[in-house]
Structure 1
Amino acid sequence: MKRIYGAFAYSDAPRAQCWWDQTCDIPVRGALEQNETCDVAIIGGGFTGISAGLHLAEAGVKAVVLENRYVGWGASGRNGGFCCLGGGRLGDAALDRKFGREDRLVYRAAEMAAINLVDSLTKRFGIDVDRHSNGETELAHRPRDMADLRTRVAQIKENYGLDATLIEKRDLEAHGLKGPFHGGLTIPAGFGLNPRKYITGLAAAAETAGAKIYHDTAAQQITQVGDGYEIRTPGGVLRAAKVIIATNGYSSEDLPTWLSGRYMPAQSSVIVTRPLTAKELSEAGWTSDQMVYDTRNLLHYFRLMPDRRMLFGMRGGLMTGPTAEGRAITRVRRDFDAMFPAWSGVETPYAWSGMVCIARDQMPFVGCVPDHKNLFAALCYHGNGVAMGSYSGAMIAKVALGQLVDSPYPKSIQKPLKTFEFGSLRRAVMPLAYLGFALADR
């Protein structure tokens, strides 16, 4: 595998202190140790790959998932647990300009359908995900951001048919959202969850339906043989009529080579406190169960979980290694203390990072890999993969089977990924873009 970062980013080190690992065991699964055949091979055991495996198995298809480590090892088992709207970063005007208003509304419908899918899957399979939060709240980082939030009320109604609620600055504390914010906007869509419990339950459902999942099975090479493929692994060769790539931020430049330069992994770091007392919550003026994020480009996302631990995350890292990891966590803690000074002495014993995945055109891709018959891919959710990754897995399963996709399937996510400028050297220029974002956030 040829990857864009050094070995540290793909080791256990960045997730060594992940809180989710304390909440749910991952079943032991064996590695592929012989040659095998299947109808559809899926590379990647996260939200996308497991969802694809589940939906393929329920359609009566022999599906095999190859996971390099274990189910949920990547971003799917270490994210902030926001099941929410999102997946792409293009606003309404850009979507209208590139794809037309009608397709923009189809994409917005897909965002809602993605949340509803996760909701239905957790209920259908009885997965206890520690669910909480009535939608999500966006908090204005600057006064001018509140003006922008006011304009979004009508947009949210048009896009999703939902009535968003504005919260003025003076009313934030009454909502249990005290902090250095200039107001907020609550959108009644989505909920918070424990991502490790969700992906673990989803994988169990996929296996019950008939999908086979292998752990510790790296896809080392994909070779087209006739209309099908051979996937070489350390323990054997998997022959498949069709292949789905579902590796997102942990993709490789050469699996397949078409992916080279077409995705950009970026670090997102998270800290979690010890359980907070009622007195500590009252002193900070933060008692809301809402999942929340702010209006910065390199945004903060945070939520008070059911056990009264505070989760606080931040986007922005493009460097890896022990020193860079330490700096990133220090930066997150610094911003946490600035936002919640009453908790500056509260311990944060859990801290980790993972890779989100960015596309040059700022939209997910879910479709056929160009010029590769029977090869499919779904990735690039821009840090919102709980819902959109699950949904994309279900969609790519139907696409791979040649079935009519009866759920919203916008043209904007069928467009193949565009190559980043400088290709394999794209990491060298991304820090300049992130510096611009950081300066704009001031």
Structure 2
Amino acid sequence: MPKNIYESAAYEASSLDGCYWPGTCEMPATPALAGEAQVDAAVIGAGFTGLSAALHLARAGMSVAVLDRHGPGWGASGRNGGFACIGGSKLDRAAMIRAHGRGARAAWCHAERAAIDTVARLQAELDIDLDRHSEGEVMLAHSPRAMAALRAEAEATGAEYGVRAEILPPGALAERGMRAEGVHGGMHLPLGFALNPRKYAAGLTRGAQAAGAAVHGGSPVTRIRREGAGYRLETPGGSLRAGRLLLATNGYASDDLPGWMRARYLPVQSSVMVTRVLDAAELAAQGWTSDLMAYDSRHLLHYFRLLPGGRFLFGMRGGIRWTPEAHEAVRRRMRADFAAMFPAWAEVETPFFWSGLANLTRNLVPYIGPLGDWPGAVAAFGYHGNGVAMASWSGQQAAELLLGRRPVLPEFVARPPARFELGPLRRLALGGAYLWYGLQDRR
């Protein structure tokens, strides 16, 4: 059996229960792998990374099959907050420059913009209805100290990305329909947009299938074997031979599929709730009428946006156990934080609540590169809670590697991530880290 580091319930189909997105669209049919099959390239994982890679490989003329434990968009790709924005690393500007140099930082900023452009391009090419809205995003300062930092960094941030970063004092936020308690101002960066992640995953699936890729849900890979110059992947219902291989399981990976992955990734829980539809009077009472996606400056951040149709989405990090009791504790904490920020909605029902696994690397940056010493095998993972755009781009870059081309990657993204300390017990370190971040967030 796969060596996953969370409780088994995190990987079962029922872990998607309570999610708002499945009710918004149907997924294309993706029958399970049955019997023997052979392709040029096999992709493990039908999230944004795997589907993007499969699409680009099939367009290049390769025969491709995608295998997924449950189905397209079942994991983080179909249950996230729908922010197609900059991000993907937990290193801030100063830390990245210290670790990798200014040239690498510039290359990373270029990759972040390219990632957003990748989503926009795929939407246009595949004619996907994404429920798209929001011209960029707003970072809200949760303390005077955080606001001072935003003011100090705004000019450099805008220069890095080639846009104007606009500082918004509290009064300006309220004027633009973004009033929340405990906010000391914000910064608007006109990069990225919001979307329905399930509709995006469905569109990518249809696009990959139309290009010739086979996508198989209900097909968890139980074993990978080297066989001749290629690989054999075994599932409960069949066996797939492939000359090339992409591992694109991100936070839903396993320590033994293959062994090279052991402790090179750390899944972290992110939880989301969605309200009932709010009417115009309720929106006006709180003073949040903007459709801009927003997040706050905490380490254990909150992220939120007003959805088309009037529901409000509110998410946060936290949680280190996948049990009913742990999820109920997270839900109570979220409701308290939500009521504190949006007191006019303190009694508003939130019928949708769910959690998913984002993914960290020890290097705090994504990885796109060889899967150990296996020839013709690539891995792409580690988007640090900002994977909508970065995963889409990473899948394209992984496809370039499998096609024998040279992708344009920041050097550190192609560097294999170090292993986390504590190995299979590494999740336990999150408790101490969250305590420390919580203390920092009070500053």
Aligned position for 1:70: 71
For residues 195-251 of structure 1, the C-alpha deviation after alignment (integer angstroms, 9 at most, x for no partner) is 000010111001001111011001001111233111111112111111100000100
Aligned position for 2:416: 416
**What's the CA shift for 1:83?**
0.3
Moved more, 135-144 or 361-370: 361-370
Aligned position for 2:435: 435
- Which SS does the other structure have where 1:57 is aligned? helix
User: Quick one: distance in 2 between partners of 1:158 and 1:283?
Assistant: 37
Aligned position for 1:393: 395
- Which SS does the other structure have where 2:273 is aligned? strand
Aligned position for 1:380: 382
1:14 matches 2:15: yes
User: Quick one: distance in 2 between partners of 1:381 and 1:66?
Assistant: 21
User: Quick one: distance in 2 between partners of 1:42 and 1:171?
Assistant: 47
For structure 2, the residue ranges without an aligned partner over 5 or more in a row are: none
Aligned position for 2:269: 267
For residues 46-94 of structure 1, the C-alpha deviation after alignment (integer angstroms, 9 at most, x for no partner) is 0000000000000001111001101110010000000000001112222
- Which SS does the other structure have where 2:35 is aligned? coil
Aligned position for 1:34: 35
**What's the CA shift for 1:175?**
1.3
| Contact 1:107/1:412 (<8 A) preserved | no
For residues 12-68 of structure 1, the C-alpha deviation after alignment (integer angstroms, 9 at most, x for no partner) is 333211110110111232111111111110000000000000000000011110011
Moved more, 420-429 or 294-303: 420-429
Aligned position for 1:49: 50
Aligned position for 1:317: 319
| Contact 1:14/1:325 (<8 A) preserved | no
Aligned position for 1:361: 363
Return the letter of the residue paired with 1:261: A
For residues 355-377 of structure 1, the C-alpha deviation after alignment (integer angstroms, 9 at most, x for no partner) is 00011111000111232222210
- Counterparts of 1:204-243 in structure 2, within 5 Å, are 204-243=206-245
- Which SS does the other structure have where 2:219 is aligned? coil
Aligned position for 1:94: 95
Give the TM-score normalised by structure 2: 0.98
Aligned position for 2:153: 152
**What's the CA shift for 1:392?**
0.2
| Contact 1:250/1:265 (<8 A) preserved | yes
| Selected match of 2:253 from 230, 251, 261 | 251
User: Quick one: distance in 1 between partners of 2:275 and 2:392?
Assistant: 28
Aligned position for 2:194: 192
What fraction of aligned residue pairs are identical, expressed as a percent? 48
| Contact 2:272/2:315 (<8 A) preserved | yes
User: Quick one: distance in 2 between partners of 1:157 and 1:170?
Assistant: 22
For residues 151-207 of structure 1, the C-alpha deviation after alignment (integer angstroms, 9 at most, x for no partner) is 221222332111110001232211111112000000000000000000101110010
- Which SS does the other structure have where 2:240 is aligned? strand
1:84 matches 2:62: no
Aligned position for 2:300: 298
Moved more, 220-229 or 304-313: 220-229
Residue correspondences, number: 440
| Contact 2:158/2:189 (<8 A) preserved | no
Return the letter of the residue paired with 1:266: V
**What's the CA shift for 1:438?**
1.2
- Runs of 4 or more, structure 1, over 4 Å off, are none
| Contact 1:246/1:378 (<8 A) preserved | yes
The root-mean-square deviation of aligned C-alpha atoms, in Å, is 1.0
| Contact 1:44/1:246 (<8 A) preserved | yes
Aligned position for 1:345: 347
| Contact 2:13/2:70 (<8 A) preserved | no
- Which SS does the other structure have where 2:276 is aligned? coil
1:140 matches 2:103: no
For residues 117-168 of structure 1, the C-alpha deviation after alignment (integer angstroms, 9 at most, x for no partner) is 1011111111010000010000000000001111221222332111110001
For structure 1, the residue ranges without an aligned partner over 5 or more in a row are: none
User: Quick one: distance in 2 between partners of 1:415 and 1:138?
Assistant: 30
Return the letter of the residue paired with 2:184: H
| Contact 2:225/2:231 (<8 A) preserved | yes
For residues 329-353 of structure 1, the C-alpha deviation after alignment (integer angstroms, 9 at most, x for no partner) is 1211111111111001111111101
User: Quick one: distance in 2 between partners of 1:341 and 1:103?
Assistant: 43
| Contact 2:7/2:321 (<8 A) preserved | no
User: Quick one: distance in 2 between partners of 1:148 and 1:321?
Assistant: 38
Give the TM-score normalised by structure 1: 0.98
Return the letter of the residue paired with 1:134: E
Return the letter of the residue paired with 1:40: A
| Contact 2:56/2:399 (<8 A) preserved | yes
User: Quick one: distance in 2 between partners of 1:3 and 1:354?
Assistant: 14
- Which SS does the other structure have where 1:429 is aligned? helix
For residues 367-390 of structure 1, the C-alpha deviation after alignment (integer angstroms, 9 at most, x for no partner) is 112322222100010111100000
